[in-house]
Amino acid sequence: MILTVTLNTALDITYRVPSLRPGASHRVAEVTERPGGKGVNVARVLAALGHEVTVTGFSGGATGRILHDRLAEIPHLTDALVPVSGTTRRTVAVADGLSGTTTRLNEPGPVITHAEWSAFQEAYEDLLATASAVALCGSLPPGVPVGAYAGLIRTARAAGIPTLLDTSGAALRRGVAGRPDVLKPNAEELAELTGFHEPLRATQDARRRGAGAVVASLGPEGLLAVTPEGLWRAAPPRRLRGNPTGAGDSVVAGLLSALVEHRPWPDRLARAVALSAATVLSPTAGDFDRAAYEELLTGVTVTGEATAA
């Protein structure tokens, strides 16, 4: 079982409008809602690949009940969210049909009490007993210590479970000190963490800060990985046009699925790039186009060498 941790789960609501005009009244053409938060998105992709996956984190209130109902509809996915007294946040995306852009409004999430955080830590330790890998993803809700991810990583490492961290800001700076097996920042997060804008230098610096391996998402350029086994770059076979929403979460799912299958790094990166690209091409934001994934997987270019980095 793969375990994904989403401390700040969400109900993602998307409004589609013909054209978004600030200050105007709009007629919404389509509304969709789905369970969200980065780790939940990762879990959905893993489940679609056929992996057994468990989702944990926090949920509460009326929004939390909808979240549970939506998670129950996903095959291969087990809901192990911990209840809280606050209400699960909503994220609202307004998709502009004319420009192709999306405007996002993200609520902060419920305030987590000390007792609720302690209850989560106990549940997390129990779930590790059957986990093959752990992904810790996304922002921290109010009340959760900024060093939470570092502590959760250390707990997993003590149990012999590999971890992947995908977060930003202070949670990233503190989390990397927990020594995750894989760190997955994007270019902006990497620059904020290290102060370097040149991708290779920044990735190498991030690894020196404590991560076992660093896989940097470089948008259309693909992935750059600095690992104990070597350094690799992986790129899709062509430039893609589409919606990049969820592409980074698909990278995490690809890395984790190949990790638990004991695939070598080039295979992990190829799968991650193909899944990410297939997510960009999907007509539904955050999903991946399976036919496109299988076709793209054969065309991903992975270059580098298996020498100590």
Residue 166 appears among annotated catalytic residues: no
* Three-state SS sequence of the chain: CEEEEECCCEEEEEEEECCCCCCCCCCCCEEEEEEECHHHHHHHHHHHCCCCEEEEEEECHHHHHHHHHHHCCCCCEEECCEECCCCCEEEEEEEECCCCCEEEEECCCCCCCHHHHHHHHHHHHHHHCCCCEEEEECCCCCCCCCCHHHHHHHHHHHCCCCEEEECCHHHHHHHHHHCCCEECCEHHHHHHHHCCCCHHHHHHHHHHCCCCEEEEECHHHCEEEEECCEEEEEECCCCCCCCCCCHHHHHHHHHHHHHHCCCCHHHHHHHHHHHHHHHHHCCCCCCCCHHHHHHHHCCCEEEEECCCC
Q: State the catalytic residue, choosing from 12, 166, 181, 249.
A: 249
Where in the sequence numbering do the catalytic residues fall? 249
